[in-house]
């Protein structure tokens, strides 16, 4: 092998490193897909650095903890919910931000103890499903060689956790100062979700192998079901406040499509979340955001066309590879790095 070939191989490994991919992809999923940050603004070095610290390190920590402690996909989902509490209640504090409530059209609907429950539940669902789970799954599909091993060693995990821990100091919405008891309650909720992740995720389910996926026909309509669930949740979240039901009923209605998806999709899927059916569900979620971004672009945010184009390209790439996506059975104990 020539020196040039060796350099090209090393460069290719760096570019396709799962750590680099998750540090870059998670901020785009968490901020760019929904239009929270203009896509081009994410490329500004100072913005990208902070978003990588918040979203990238958050997704990396969730993935590594779920992998190292064999928490399975259930544990990963719960860790994603814990991350949502960290970001939106501790760092950004949009749970307690009346200006954000007003700009979203929800207003003071469902405000309890300085917290907008509808906003909090919606942001938790979004970050759990998109910022954490979808970004991690996409990276594992793009880099299947890294599926059953840690992405960083222990010092790397400690570093990622430390960077995530200081994000409220680097950038925090400190103008939003609910009573200390409210913030303490949010911290207690975060801790409770993490404990639940460890208790509920201790029984890892086997990951379907590639041969198992090939022997099964895909379930018709699974992607359409996922698309319908996210569309209904999104629509209800931003319309229920204006229809007049009491807030407990309104919040329940907005979460009903999410509950239906969590109940029906695992029952109907013929592969696990890491197999081809998981790809179909994530592609449907990405398709929703392609349509949302195009709608936002038509309303004047023309930069969102860039987000729609990249998301559509990524969704198509995953969908065309769905039949070949699969993984060997993991070892009984996940490999660990010193």
In a domain, 262, yes or no: yes
- Residue 10: its pLDDT value, please? 57
**Quick check: is 282 in a domain?**
yes
264 found inside a domain? yes
Give the Cα separation of 187 and 322 in Å (integer).
39
Q: Smallest Cα–Cα separation from 173: which of 266, 98, 242, 103? A: 98
In a domain, 337, yes or no: no
Q: Looking at the domain assignment, is residue 314 inside a domain?
A: yes
Is there a domain that residue 334 lies in? Answer: no
Task: Work out how many domains the chain is built from and give that number.
Answer: 1
> In this structure, is residue 96 part of a structural domain?
yes
Measure the CA–CA gap between 2 and 58, rounded to whole angstroms. 39
Could you tell me if residue 205 is left (phi over 0), alpha (psi between -120 and 50 degrees) or otherwise beta? beta
pLDDT given at position 335:
41
User: Residue 55: inside a domain, yes or no?
Assistant: yes
- pLDDT in tens for each of the 338 residues of the chain? 455 555 545 556 656 799 999 999 999 999 999 888 888 888 889 889 999 999 999 999 999 999 999 999 999 999 999 999 999 999 989 999 999 999 989 999 999 999 999 999 999 999 999 999 999 999 999 998 888 899 999 999 999 999 999 998 877 566 667 888 999 999 999 999 999 999 987 664 554 444 444 555 667 789 999 999 999 999 999 999 888 789 999 999 999 999 999 999 999 998 888 888 999 999 999 999 999 999 999 988 898 999 999 999 999 999 988 776 654 334 334 444 33
Q: What is the pLDDT of residue 256?
A: 98
Distance CA(112)–CA(116), nearest Å, equals 6
Token readout for 104 is 């979203």
Residue 259: domain span: 17-324
pLDDT of residue 154: 94
């Amino acid at each position: 092998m020539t020196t040039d070939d060796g350099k090209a191989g090393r460069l290719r490994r760096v570019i396709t490193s799962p750590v680099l991919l998750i540090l870059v992809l998670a901020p785009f999923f968490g901020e760019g897909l929904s239009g929270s940050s203009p896509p081009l603004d994410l490329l500004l070095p100072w913005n990208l650095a902070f978003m990588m610290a918040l979203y990238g390190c958050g997704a990396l920590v969730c993935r590594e903890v779920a992998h190292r402690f064999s928490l399975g996909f259930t544990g990963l989902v719960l860790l994603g919910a814990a991350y949502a509490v960290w970001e939106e209640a501790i760092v950004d504090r949009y749970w307690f931000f009346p200006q954000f409530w007003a700009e979203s059209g929800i207003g003071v609907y469902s405000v309890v103890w300085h917290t907008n429950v509808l906003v909090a539940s919606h942001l938790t669902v979004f970050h759990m499903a998109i910022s954490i789970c979808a970004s991690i799954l996409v990276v594992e599909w793009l880099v299947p060689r890294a599926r059953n091993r840690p992405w960083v060693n222990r010092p790397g995990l400690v570093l990622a956790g430390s960077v995530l821990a200081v994000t409220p100091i680097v950038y925090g919405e400190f103008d939003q100062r609910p009573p200390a008891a409210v913030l303490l309650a949010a911290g207690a909720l975060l801790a409770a979700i993490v404990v639940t992740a460890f208790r509920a995720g201790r029984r890892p389910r086997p990951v379907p192998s590639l041969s198992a996926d090939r022997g099964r026909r895909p379930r018709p309509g699974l992607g359409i079901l996922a698309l319908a669930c996210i569309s209904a949740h999104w629509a209800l979240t931003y319309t229920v406040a204006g229809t007049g039901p009491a807030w407990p009923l309104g919040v329940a209605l907005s979460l009903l499509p999410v509950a239906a998806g969590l109940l029906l999709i695992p029952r109907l899927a013929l592969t696990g979340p890491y197999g081809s059916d998981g790809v179909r569900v994530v592609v449907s979620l990405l398709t929703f955001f392609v349509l949302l971004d195009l709608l936002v672009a038509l309303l004047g945010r023309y930069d969102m066309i860039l987000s729609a184009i990249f998301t559509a390209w990524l969704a198509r790439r995953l969908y065309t590879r769905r039949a070949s996506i699969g993984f060997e059975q993991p070892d009984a104990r996940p490999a660990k790095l010193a």
